[in-house]
């Protein structure tokens, strides 16, 4: 029944690929539907780097495309995790979820979800990955430490994501839940050019962790928006700087389109050059002799 509801909404002439890819264009305003949208996530959901969070963030673009009657944005800025300056690393967060602190913050936001919500989107993972990376950077040459830390992150993230989704279902039982997969930072930004040890092993481990987190999402009996497989979200021209995690208006529009495609049953049907959510994780092999930097 829920899938039919979403398909009916998307069958309306509310959006097209061209209008979503070009946020500066002005498509006709959609008719107001019965959709009540809630977007849950971190600072990307909040609208980081969007020129106008109320109009060009992915949640705003999504709400407009759906003709939503109302939209509640429960995006939290990552800085909320910092209890004091310069202490942004694992074990020093403002809640008790050591390896998934953003989920810990969002747990407290669940009561703000309107009970009449019909569609909930969840897009998180960037902050949790970033914090794991900061912990590992001093230990890049220690494969055992790297494997142990990433295994802990994957285990805890699966459990905490499951609990968050259950809490959302309890709060808004009529809602269709759509979860975006985590994009792989090993395939984006300056780290992609570090093709020598210990960075090769680090990128391999990071990719395995991302795949594990995304398999956790797939296992949750939700609609999956395969953002991990969207090359636009790896295109540095859709960010202010190569290492920025917050997309520009074009990137926000791409995220909105990915969520819409998932609701319409189209997610995961395109080919891509990146590690796909359904792919097996890369093994953490002991590295051979390190090649010279090229």
Residues of the chain with pLDDT under 50: 1-30, 83-94, 269-294
Choose among 168, 186, 185: nearest CA to 223. Answer: 168
82: CATH: 3.40.50.1110
290 in a structural domain: no
274 in a structural domain: no
Rounded Cα distance between 258 and 72, Å, is 19
pLDDT of residue 64: 96
282 in a structural domain: no
275 in a structural domain: no
Q: How far is CA 219 from CA 24, 171, 194, 248, in A?
A: 37, 21, 33, 30
Within 8 A by CB and 6+ apart from 59, the residues are 37, 39, 45, 47, 71, 73, 75, 121, 256
3-state secondary structure of 195: coil
pLDDT of residue 205: 78
268 in a structural domain: no
Task: Kindly state the tokens that stand for 89.
Answer: 């690393």
270 in a structural domain: no
39 in a structural domain: yes
3-state secondary structure of 274: coil
C-alpha dihedral sign at 25, 227, 81, 117: positive
Rounded Cα distance between 288 and 119, Å, is 49
Domain residues for the domain of 98 are 2-263
Q: Give DSSP secondary structure letters for 203-257.
A: HHHHHHHHHHHHHHHHTTSSEEE-GGG-GGGG-GGGBSSTT--SB-HHHHHHHHH
Rounded Cα distance between 157 and 147, Å, is 15
pLDDT tens-place string over residues 193-214: 666 677 777 777 788 888 888 8
Task: Kindly state the tokens that stand for 195.
Answer: 């093709």
Rounded Cα distance between 124 and 182, Å, is 7
Q: How far is CA 269 from CA 183, 212, 280, in A?
A: 17, 20, 18
pLDDT of residue 97: 60
Beta strands in the chain (DSSP E): 36-41, 70-75, 119-123, 176-180, 223-225
> Domain tally for the chain?
1
284 in a structural domain: no
Indicate whether this model's pTM tops 0.85.
Answer: no
pLDDT tens-place string over residues 143-177: 667 777 778 888 888 888 999 999 999 999 999 99
3-state secondary structure of 83: coil
pLDDT of residue 5: 42
């Amino acid at each position: 029944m829920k899938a039919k509801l979403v398909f009916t909404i998307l069958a309306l002439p509310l959006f097209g690929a061209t209008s979503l890819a070009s946020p500066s264009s002005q498509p006709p305003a959609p008719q107001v539907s019965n959709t009540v949208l809630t977007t849950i996530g971190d600072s990307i959901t909040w609208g980081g780097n969007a020129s106008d969070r109320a109009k060009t963030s992915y949640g705003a673009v999504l709400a407009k495309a759906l003709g939503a009657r109302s939209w509640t944005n429960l995006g939290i800025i990552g800085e909320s995790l910092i209890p004091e300056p310069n202490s942004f690393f694992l074990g020093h967060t403002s809640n008790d979820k050591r390896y998934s602190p953003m989920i810990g913050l969002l747990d407290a936001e669940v009561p703000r979800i309107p009970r009449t919500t019909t569609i909930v989107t969840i897009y998180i993972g960037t902050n949790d990955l970033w914090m794991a990376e900061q912990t590992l950077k001093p230990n890049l040459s220690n494969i055992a430490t790297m494997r142990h830390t990433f295994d802990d992150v994957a285990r805890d993230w699966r459990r905490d994501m499951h609990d968050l989704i259950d809490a959302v279902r309890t709060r808004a039982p009529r809602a269709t839940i759509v979860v975006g997969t985590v994009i792989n930072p090993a395939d984006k930004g300056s780290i992609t050019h570090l093709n020598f040890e210990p960075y090769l092993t680090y990128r391999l481990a990071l990719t395995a962790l991302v795949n594990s987190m995304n398999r956790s999402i797939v296992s949750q009996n939700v609609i999956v928006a395969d953002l991990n497989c969207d090359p636009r979200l790896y295109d540095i021209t859709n960010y202010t700087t190569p290492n920025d995690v917050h997309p520009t208006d074009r990137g926000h529009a791409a995220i909105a389109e990915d969520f819409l495609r998932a609701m319409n049953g189209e997610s995961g049907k395109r080919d891509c050059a990146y590690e796909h959510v359904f792919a097996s994780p890369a093994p953490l092999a002991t590295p051979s002799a390190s090649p010279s930097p090229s």
